[in-house]
Amino acid sequence: MWQAEARVDLDAIRANAALVSAATTARVMAVVKGDGYGHGAVPSARAALAGGATWLGVCTLGEALELRAAGLTAPILAWLVGPGIPLLEGVVEDVDLNAASTEQLADVVAAAQLAGLPARVHLKIDTGLSRGGSRPEEWPTLVEAAAKARDDGLVEIVGIWSHLVYADDPGHETIDAQLAAYQDALAVAERIGVVPQVRHLANSAATLTRPDTHFDIVRPGIALYGLSPIPGRDFGLRPAMTARARVALTKRVPAGQGVSYGHTYYTDRETTLALVPLGYADGVPRHGSNVGPVSVNGKRYTVAGRVCMDQIVVDVGDDEVRPGDEAVLFGPGDRGEPTADDWAEAIDTINYEIVTRFGSHRVPRVHVGGAEHG
Ligand SMILES: *Cc1c(COP(=O)(O)O)cnc(C)c1O
């Protein structure tokens, strides 16, 4: 018996990984940062590997070490390691580390010296996103420093990589400009004597729409969880997460009754209110107040009044709803329930944020499917 849960369909993740793998001749790095976009990093990684991924990608070193501690042996890239992070464990645990500046490279080299092992590094070029990555002006200096560390036996230069600005608009001019800047960076590196083992640039959207960005590895995230990286475009992916709860209480109230904090909603007739035990502490965006979709027993309604920390109220009219009935915030959408895309549209965000928020401690994450079921 559950009160509220985030149900994660691992067979869907495996099938999505297989679909993505079939869309490319490159290797697939399954991105499981943000606790697998709220789906659980370790089970999501296992399902993606079962579907054909062979690499794993995360943001922090801590995320990478969690995967290693769970016994995952695939190559893992951790791409955001700031100053003061103890990189030694990353080197010892065979985690690939990013370097986007000579300072970051020096930290990696220092860890390699401590470990007495060469560190595996991916050098990142900023091709226009202006986030991580070395500016083209600083790139030759970074590559020269990496080549020296390599010659000293302190690093293995595994990859040269970058990240796209606008892959969700496959015809956007920035993609061609970034491809050109990336090719330039590879050429500069080659002149310095650095030819990486792998080159990688594409996220989900580019994996599904721009084969010219695939190179040796693609890095899909959102597609693995079954959500479209391009709103409104159907790639045949299956959403893996269902966020649902059982109605905790129902009550009849008269017309003109204000509902929830601030009375931002008033009933317009005598009606039944259903209390659903999920709130913003669980990942329901508070911006969903009066606009977020919810299905109860398969029928669609909208959140009535403010989203609270622990609960929301749904006005179900004269429909027959009882405590214990199923309320679904979002799911795959094939049982009449809203999807993460519907929530994203209702509150003007992206589907990524909707599912990633549901990684809380209070809502049990229940994994179904996966290897143990065949
Ligand atoms: C998050 C992320 C990805 C995956 O992006 P999606 O749009 O979810 O496929 C790939 N590469 C990097 C560097 C990222 O930060």
SS3 228: coil
Tell me the pLDDT tens digit for each residue of 129-161.
999 999 999 999 999 999 999 999 999 999 999
CB of 222 within 6 A of ligand 1: the answer is: yes
301 is catalytic: no
Rounded distance between C-alpha atoms, residue 102 and residue 152, angstroms: 16
Q: Which atom number of ligand 1 is nearest to the Cα of residue 219?
A: 10
Q: Counting Cβ atoms within 10 Å, is residue 163 exposed (0-12), middle (13-18) or buried (19+)?
A: buried
Q: What is the maximal distance between C-alpha atoms in the chain?
A: 79
Per-residue pLDDT at 373 exceeds 50: no
Q: What's the confidence (pLDDT) of residue 87?
A: 96
**Residue 261 annotated among the catalytic residues of the structure:** yes
Of these residues, 148, 251, 261, 299, which one is catalytic?
261
The ligand 1 atom at the shortest distance from the C-alpha of residue 31 is: 4
CA distance 353 to 235: 20
Count of residues making up the chain: 374
Kindly state if the Cβ of 122 falls inside 6 Å of ligand 1: no
pTM given for the model: 0.96
How many whole angstroms from 333 Cα to the centroid of ligand 1?
Answer: 24
Instruction: Report whether residue 127 contacts ligand 1, using a CB cutoff of 6 Å.
Output: no
Neighbours of 223 (CB within 10 A): 24
Q: Report the nearest atom of ligand 1 relative to the CA of 34.
A: 1
- How far apart CA 118 and CA 269 sit, in angstroms, is 71
322-339 pLDDT, tens digit per residue, is 999 999 999 999 999 999
Q: Which residue has the tokens 């969700």?
A: 168
The DSSP-derived string for 280-312 is GGGT--GGGTTT-EEEETTEEEEB-S---SS-E
Which residues are registered as beta bridge partners of 301? 294
Give Rg (Cα) of the chain: 23
Are 336 and 299 in contact by the 8 Å Cβ rule? The answer is: yes
**Residue-wise pLDDT tens digits, 46-70:** 999 999 999 999 999 999 999 999 9
Tens of pLDDT, residue by residue over 191-238, are 999 999 999 999 999 999 999 999 999 999 999 999 999 999 999 999
Report yes or no: 227 and 239 within 8 Å, Cβ to Cβ. yes
Domains by residue range for the chain, with CATH: 9-224 (3.20.20.10), 241-367 (2.40.37.10)
